[in-house]
Amino acid sequence: MAGPAFRAAAVRVRVPATSANLGPGFDAFGLALGLYDDVVVRVADSGLHVDIAGEGADTLPRDEKHLVVRSLRTAFDLLGGQPRGLEVVCANRIPHGRGLGSSSAAICAGIMAARAVTIGGPAGLDDTALLELATEIEGHPDNVAACLMGGFTVAWTEGGAARAVRMEPAASLVPVVFVPAVPLLTETARGLLPRTVPHVDAAANAGRAALLVEALTRRPELLLPATEDRLHQEYRAPAMPESLALVNRLRAEGVPAVVSGAGPTVLALTDEGAADKVSRLAGDGWAANRLALDAAGASVLPLAGGQ
């Protein structure tokens, strides 16, 4: 049986950073942010060549162990077979190990590029299958759903398969991320979580998560109470005490703030009038970045322009 055919031209995929959990929406909520990695993939005659610029340029592997390459390979297997060779160029802007979805971005870039460079790829790997594959590689759907779909997403698993819905965040929202210099492994943060939690805390989180959907999409004035969490942030404090201290300091000032994903980045959700002031609240040791919301999600773009 003949394998798939591939396009001769290179394809470029742009993938956004994401913030998961958003306080009470543990392992379910995700928000796509206007900070992007670009990956260009071309099918070559033989071999594998990986070039990396930006984040991770000095530390990431340039072989089959690279997460973009591993994701490409997995998607190509589902699409019917591997190309003879690959050239992969990564321009990385999403900080690594900071809770901004860098691994999800790499995964989504790889599988999107594999689909785009394969003739008939969208028919062989539709959007539902993309989410399922990205979740299988990543292990949970919250970040990959937001990365693929953009906007604000709620993800879950049903019958072992990942599912997600996308909603439009309120246009007035301005995310500000406070990124520390030192990374934190997701496995380290997740390992601090208890196997059970008090029923009263679970009930409180369920109510706040429901409220957060309304606050993020229609009533941002409710974001401070809606982002209260009792399930994961305080348990992770030993791994990132400075992050939890900043969250508490911001919230005491009336700023809706949460740990971004597994941390240690802190995400504040503010508006145009307050964003610059909020950006100055963290003090030394934090890189404050005011970002846009991303509405498009992972996208195949023209090769030229628009960096």
Feature table: binding site for ATP: 95-105
Tokens 């590689």 belong to 137
Rounded-to-integer distance, Cα 254 and Cα 164, Å: 31
Annotated binding site: 95-105
- Whether 106 and 88 have beta carbons less than 8 Å apart is answered as no
Q: Which amino acid is at 39?
A: V
Rounded-to-integer distance, Cα 255 and Cα 278, Å: 8
H or E element, residue 175:
strand 174-180
Which tokens in the block code for residue 99? 């809770």
Rounded-to-integer distance, Cα 165 and Cα 206, Å: 18
Rounded-to-integer distance, Cα 49 and Cα 26, Å: 38
Q: At what angle do helices 67-78 and 127-138 cross, to 10 degrees?
A: 130
